[in-house]
């Protein structure tokens, strides 16, 4: 095999491999798009459904094992807030930088669920600066089940000793507050917005329900690259065939 043919063979092999890889990536993005659309439809159905009771204690292992089967369920909780065990988790929202107010809610059966009562700016981090008394006595809370966020935030670790929290880590917050682990649900609840006269903070109902869905663009990009690479391979084959024909015709012409 001449060096020219060897070079052509290598180029064609490379073009074939790249085309196959680009097609595979495009197909994968199509699959991801289908999964994402199912996720969006499932979440929308859950957040619009009537609220249900929280998962019972016997269901907690299932929540931890398969969080996608439970997350964003709309729940109704009836109990009493344990304001002395409140935790502030740093957050950035549409209202700016500040804190999520996470307060344990003790239910009638003794189960404890951490409730994200909403957002407060730094100036309102202290309960007395929030514009209204803390809700005392029996309360009803409606909100979305959310999965615990262990460890901390991006490049920032929770520091229980210093009471600095960068994620809503249910187990760590409960342990820092001395709550019995067996009684604390392995999830928290984002409270829905429920305006109360005269109350400004915390602001609830800020759960982000937007899921990036750029898979179609990615799929078209990969398929486009596959088409261009395949077209380049075909061009090389045709150009090689044309060169061979010209060479044969030139050799057949008498000197």
pLDDT tens for the 255 residues of the chain, in order = 567 677 777 877 888 888 898 889 989 988 888 887 887 888 788 888 999 999 999 999 999 999 999 999 999 999 999 999 999 999 999 899 999 999 999 999 999 999 999 999 999 999 888 888 889 999 999 999 999 999 887 778 998 888 999 999 999 999 999 999 999 999 999 999 875 555 578 999 888 777 777 888 888 898 888 888 888 888 877 877 777 777 677 766 665
Structure tokens at 10: 């290598």
Which residue ranges make up each domain of the chain? 12-42+213-252, 73-191
Estimate to the nearest angstrom the gap between the alpha carbon of 55 and the chain centroid.
22
- What is d(CA 150, CA 11) in angstroms, rounded to the nearest whole number? 49
Give, in order, the Cα–Cα distances in Å from 129 to each of 93, 120, 201, 204: 20, 10, 9, 17
Task: Give me the helix-helix angle, 3-48 and 215-252, nearest 10°.
Answer: 160
Record the pTM. Answer: 0.76
Buried-exposed string 122-161: b where 16+ CB fall within 10 A, e elsewhere = eebeebeebeeeeeeeeeebbbbbbbbbeebbeeeebeee
């Amino acid at each position: 095999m001449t060096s020219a043919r060897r070079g052509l063979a290598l180029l064609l092999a490379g073009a074939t491999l790249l085309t196959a890889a680009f097609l595979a990536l495009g197909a994968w993005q199509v699959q991801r798009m289908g999964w994402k659309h199912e996720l969006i439809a499932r979440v929308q159905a859950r957040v619009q459904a009537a609220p249900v009771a929280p998962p019972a204690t016997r269901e907690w292992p299932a929540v931890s094992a398969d969080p996608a089967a439970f997350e964003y369920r709309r729940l109704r909780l009836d109990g009493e807030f344990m304001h002395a065990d409140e935790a502030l988790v740093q957050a950035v929202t549409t209202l700016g930088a500040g804190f999520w107010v996470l307060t344990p809610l003790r239910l009638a059966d003794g189960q404890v669920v951490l409730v994200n009562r909403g957002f407060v700016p730094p100036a309102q981090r202290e309960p007395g600066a929030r514009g209204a008394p803390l809700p005392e006595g029996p309360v009803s809370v409606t909100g979305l089940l959310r999965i615990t966020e262990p460890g901390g935030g991006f490049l920032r670790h929770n520091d229980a000793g210093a009471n600095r929290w960068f994620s809503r880590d249910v187990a760590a917050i409960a342990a820092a507050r001395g709550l019995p682990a067996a009684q604390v649900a392995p999830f928290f609840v984002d409270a829905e917005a429920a305006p109360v006269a005269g109350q400004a903070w915390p602001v609830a109902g800020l759960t982000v329900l937007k899921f990036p869905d750029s898979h179609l663009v990615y799929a078209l990009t990969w398929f486009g690259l596959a088409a261009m690479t395949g077209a380049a391979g075909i061009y090389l084959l045709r150009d090689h065939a044309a060169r061979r024909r010209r060479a044969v015709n030139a050799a057949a012409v008498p000197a």
